[in-house]
């Protein structure tokens, strides 16, 4: 699958030739392959990502901070858990195991590679992309799967030709980016006409306790996003502990009574009732560390996907929203069709 890679420094994105531990384009731009991971970042970005030195450019600085946050997170919460299989299927629904065999898939913002792992186990060829150090965790978690290629790349500047992939998904990533629509358009660029895309985005709750709690979280984030990651890691335990005590354990108890399961599902943090405590710790670190966090209504997600020209748009609730659609194929006559 390394043959899929293209030079991001050249406007026409020519293919690359392997030369030892480097990939080189016809013009001479070079990209290292380190630990089995092609490093496909532009020169202006590659020296900053994963480092601690502030970048002068505001956009690059935000990418650096985001990459550092998730790099720390996924190095410390790297475990592949058995619960992730059902989690993967919930995000992919209504696509099940039978959807993936023979497809070329892009995991955009792969994190630990847990979704790539299950897509590949279902016999898809998967390219797992992440901008920062997390890509090495994805590589380690999928190293025994020959149909996974981990690539360090920028979602705004993907090293692939137009129309490469049959299916593109991005789970819990776009809402952390400075310009989500621009990144989404880049995902659509590398999606083949007739191919499908799915994205998971944080939901914006209506009036009530969830909104009130998120207001408190939003205020706290003004401080926590600037804390050293190690300090915030320690703080994530008591934060998760409080949520576990006041919301998760009561939700678990109520869910045992069939008539009260709808009440249990309405509790804040009720989703964690199906997971170990460590997952809640992980997500509290995530919630308070990521430099940017955006939230959307279902209408906003639908309007966004429709505005990008997708057909068969669907928005499903899943502790937020999973929006999906199909890239419209265009015939030579410029008449759009929904599939090929």
314 and 285, same domain (yes or no): no
Closest CA to 318 of 215, 201, 198: 201
Q: Which of 289, 305, 332 is the last residue of a domain?
A: 289
35 and 130, same domain (yes or no): yes
pLDDT given at position 53: 54
121 and 245, same domain (yes or no): no
301 and 268, same domain (yes or no): no
End-to-end CA distance of the chain: 24
Give the burial class of 196: count Cβ atoms within 10 A of its Cβ; 0-12 exposed, 13-18 middle, 19 or more buried: buried
65 and 213, same domain (yes or no): no
Range 213-220 contact pairs with CB under 8 angstroms and sequence separation of 24 or more:
213/268, 214/295, 217/287, 217/288, 220/288
141 and 189, same domain (yes or no): yes
222 and 300, same domain (yes or no): no
**CATH number assigned to the domain comprising residue 330:** 3.40.50.150
217 and 245, same domain (yes or no): yes
- For 50-99, the three-class secondary structure string (H helix, E strand, C coil) is CCCCCCCCHHHHHHHHHHHHHHHHHHHCCCCCCCHHHHHHHHHCCCCHHH
233 and 101, same domain (yes or no): no
How far apart are alpha carbons 108 and 154 in whole angstroms?
A: 9
- What are the 10-residue block averages of pLDDT along the chain, 340 residues in total? 93 90 93 95 80 67 90 93 94 95 97 96 97 94 97 96 97 95 96 97 86 89 95 96 94 90 87 92 95 95 96 94 91 48
Host domain of residue 142: 1-204+295-340
244 and 193, same domain (yes or no): no
Q: Count structural domains, the chain.
A: 2
Closest CA to 117 of 77, 155, 74, 85: 85
How far apart are alpha carbons 93 and 324 in whole angstroms?
A: 10
41 and 65, same domain (yes or no): yes
264 and 310, same domain (yes or no): no
Q: Which of 250, 273, 289 is the last residue of a domain?
A: 289
Q: How many CB atoms lie within 10 A of CB 154?
A: 23
pLDDT given at position 208: 83
How far apart are alpha carbons 272 and 134 in whole angstroms?
A: 23
């Amino acid at each position: 699958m390394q043959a899929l890679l293209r030079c991001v420094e050249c406007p026409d994105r020519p293919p690359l030739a392997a030369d030892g531990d480097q990939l080189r384009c016809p013009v001479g731009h070079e990209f290292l392959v380190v630990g089995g991971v092609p490093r496909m970042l532009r020169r202006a970005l590659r020296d900053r990502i994963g480092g601690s030195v502030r970048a002068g450019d505001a956009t690059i600085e935000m990418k650096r901070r985001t990459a550092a946050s998730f790099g720390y997170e996924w190095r410390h919460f790297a475990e592949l858990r058995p619960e992730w299989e059902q989690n993967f299927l919930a995000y992919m629904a209504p696509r099940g195991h039978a959807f993936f065999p023979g497809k070329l898939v892009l995991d955009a913002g792969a994190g630990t590679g847990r979704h790539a792992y299950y897509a590949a186990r279902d016999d898809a060829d998967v390219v797992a992309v992440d901008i920062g150090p997390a890509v090495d965790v994805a590589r380690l978690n999928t190293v025994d799967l020959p149909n996974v290629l981990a690539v360090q790349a920028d979602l705004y500047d993907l090293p692939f030709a137009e129309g490469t992939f049959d299916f593109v998904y991005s789970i819990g990533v776009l809402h952390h980016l400075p310009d989500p629509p621009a990144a989404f358009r880049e995902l659509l660029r590398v999606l083949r006409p007739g191919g499908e895309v799915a994205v998971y985005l944080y939901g914006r709750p209506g009036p009530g306790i969830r909104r009130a709690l998120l207001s408190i979280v939003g205020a706290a984030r003004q401080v926590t996003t600037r804390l050293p990651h190690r300090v915030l890691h320690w703080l994530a335990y008591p934060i998760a502990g409080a949520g576990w005590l006041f919301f998760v354990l009561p939700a678990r108890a109520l869910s045992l009574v069939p008539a009260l399961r709808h009440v249990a599902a309405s509790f804040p943090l009720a989703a964690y009732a199906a997971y170990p405590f460590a997952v809640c710790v992980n997500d509290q670190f995530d919630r308070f560390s990521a430099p940017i966090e955006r939230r959307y209504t279902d209408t906003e997600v639908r309007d966004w996907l429709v505005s990008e020209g997708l057909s068969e748009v669907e928005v499903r609730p899943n502790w937020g929203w999973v929006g999906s659609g199909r890239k419209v194929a265009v015939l030579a006559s410029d008449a759009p069709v929904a599939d090929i």
